[in-house]
Amino acid sequence: MHRLSLLLRNKPGALARVVVLFSTRDVAVESLSLNPADADGLSRLDVQVRLREGRSVDQLVHQLRRVVDLCEVSAA
């Protein structure tokens, strides 16, 4: 299980793109919570995910960074 913390721009489709990426890459979402971030126009997305065996969270983080409306992502 990995905890991801994402900072997203409040743009239409930003959340959808992240969620579809999980689905495309066969990442199982265990929990997901979206809240307004401190800064204007941004949202904090906290997710717990389960990866397929042999797949690394670093790779997922790199794939998330391709999302244009993602400002930050960190994994724990």
Partner 1 sequence: MNGALALIKALEAVGCETVFGIPGGAILPAYDPLFDSAKIRHVLTRHEQGAGHAASGYAQATGRVGVCMATSGPGATNLVTPLADAYLDSLPVVAITGQVARPVIGTDAFQEADIRSITLPITKHSYQVTDPDDIPHVIAEAFTLAASGRPGPVLVDLPKDVLAAPAAWTEPEPPVVVRPRLDPAGVRQAADLLARAERPVFYVGGGVVRAGAAALLLELAERTGVPVVTTLMARGAFPDSHPQHLGMPGMHGTVAAVAAMQKADLLVALGARFDDRVTGSLARFAPEALVVHADIDPAEISKNRRADVPLVGDCRDVLRALNASVTTGGDLGAWWAYLDGLRTTFPLGYDWPEDGSLAPQYVISRIGELVGPEAIYTSGVGQHQMWAAQFVRYERPGSFINSGGLGTMGFAVPAAMGAVCGAPDRQVWAIDGDGCFQMTNQELATCALEGLPIKVAVINNGNLGMVRQWQNLFYGSRYSQTSLGSTPDFALLAEAMGCVGLRCSSRPGVDDVVREAMAVRDRPVVIDFVVGADAQVWPMVAAGTGNDEIMTARGLRPLCDSDTGEDL
**What does the binding site for partner 1 look like in residue numbers (CB under 8 A)?**
12-13, 16-17, 20-21, 23-24, 56, 58-59, 62-63, 65-66, 68
- Closer to partner 1 at the Cβ: 12 or 35? 12
- Closer to partner 1 at the Cβ: 10 or 59? 59
Report the distance separating Cα 44 and Cα 9, nearest Å.
9
- To partner 1, the closest distance from the beta carbon of 38 in angstroms equals 26
Q: In this structure, what are the phi and psi dihedrals at residue 2, rounded to the nearest 5 degrees?
A: -125, 140
Report the distance separating Cα 68 and Cα 76, nearest Å.
22
